[in-house]
Chain A
Amino acid sequence: AQSVTQPDIHITVSEGASLELRCNYSYGATPYLFWYVQSPGQGLQLLLKYFSGDTLVQGIKGFEAEFKRSQSSFNLRKPSVHWSDAAEYFCAVGANFGNEKLTFGTGTRLTIIP
């Protein structure tokens, strides 16, 4: 069975600073990987996803993530955060055969300070 770890429960960054949110997964083959964002009072929205091919994936709102098989990681990055990026971020992993559910991490809450 697949699993996901988001080691950082809460991260605070200054507006305009760079951001990296960590995600580590466990799965025996190449997984499907996702980052979702949950803004206050709103549902989850997909930021980006990785299936295969290019290991650097571009998403919406200026986010990107890099799949590193050797480190079992799929970290989310943004070069310059905006106050509107304050939200909870969830990494998720899906199996590529025979198991159609997603397994989500526990989330990282991002706070932006002026």
Chain B
Amino acid sequence: GAGVSQSPSNKVTEKGKDVELRCDPISGHTALYWYRQSLGQGLEFLIYFQGNSAPDKSGLPSDRFSAERTGGSVSTLTIQRTQQEDSAVYLCASSLVAVSYNEQFFGPGTRLTVL
């Protein structure tokens, strides 16, 4: 079956612009996670969804970052007024249910470059 897909694969934007990153999870997976991977920083947790609700938004670095999920499926991560420090690879993962012992299946990521 299809894995987790993310679009776009690459995004180059100018400082101050807004960007939207999309994640399409594995069909039937109710949990969806967003991470940010910066060079040498490992994976930084941003937010996760169980269904359409987000119990844990603690990882969002500022109020310029927001995410939503509708219909229990596709999720969009929005970064407003992008800054150069937002440049990173944004990874999405999904799992059957949002419990920490479940395997997370990762997408290929969106590489964001802010000029």
Contacts and interface: CB of A to CB of B under 8 A. Distances in A.
A binds B: yes
Nearest to B55: A100
Given A43-B109, A44-B91, A90-B43, A102 B4 contact: no
Interface in A71-114: 90, 92, 94-96, 99-107
A44 B92 CA distance: 10
B33 to A, nearest CB: 7
A100 B55 CA distance: 9
A59 to B, nearest CB: 12
A43 B48 contact: no
B101 A106 contact: no
Given A43-B4, A90-B43, A102 B100 contact: yes
A100 B99 CA distance: 5
Contacts of B90: none
B100 A95 contact: yes
A44 B101 contact: no
B91 A101 contact: no
A46 interface: yes
Interface in B5-45: 31, 33, 35, 40-45
Interface residues of A, number: 26
A103 B33 CA distance: 12
Question: In the complex, which of the residues A41, A51, A103 has the most CB atoms of chain B within 10 Å of its own CB atom?
Answer: A103
Interface string A9-44: 100000000000000000000001000100001111
A36 B101 CA distance: 14
B31 to A, nearest CB: 8
B88 to A, nearest CB: 14
A43 B92 CA distance: 10
Contacts of A32: 100-101
Given A42-B108, A101-B45, A107-B42, A49 B103 contact: yes
Closest 4 CB pairs of A and B: A94-B100, A106-B42, A104-B43, A43-B106
13 contacts: A6-B42, A43-B91, A44-B43, A44-B106, A46-B103, A94-B100, A99-B100, A100-B55, A100-B56, A101-B56, A102-B45, A106-B40, A106-B41
